[in-house]
Amino acid sequence: MPELLADPLRRLAPELLSYRTPTFALTDDLDRLARVQRAGAPGAVVCYCARIVETLAADAVGRLGQESSGPKLE
């Protein structure tokens, strides 16, 4: 269990970690999120979480054929 705490990304599905767009790589943001959390920077944790959710939501809306007001994923 301690190794999972040291590297929380290890427990995630490979399909999740491979999610990327030309301007966003989920694994990079999740790695940064884990690092700022370990550093005790709650404001940065909130910012990374918001960026991740905003990007994933914009992609989901785009897959439904709708226009998103969020970040452009091109």
pLDDT 10s digits, 11-57: 888 888 899 988 889 999 998 998 999 899 999 999 999 999 998 88
pLDDT band at 1 (very low <50, low <70, confident <90, very high): very low
20 forms bridges with which residues in the sheet?
Answer: 25
pLDDT 10s digits, 59-72: 888 888 888 776 56
pTM listed for this prediction: 0.75
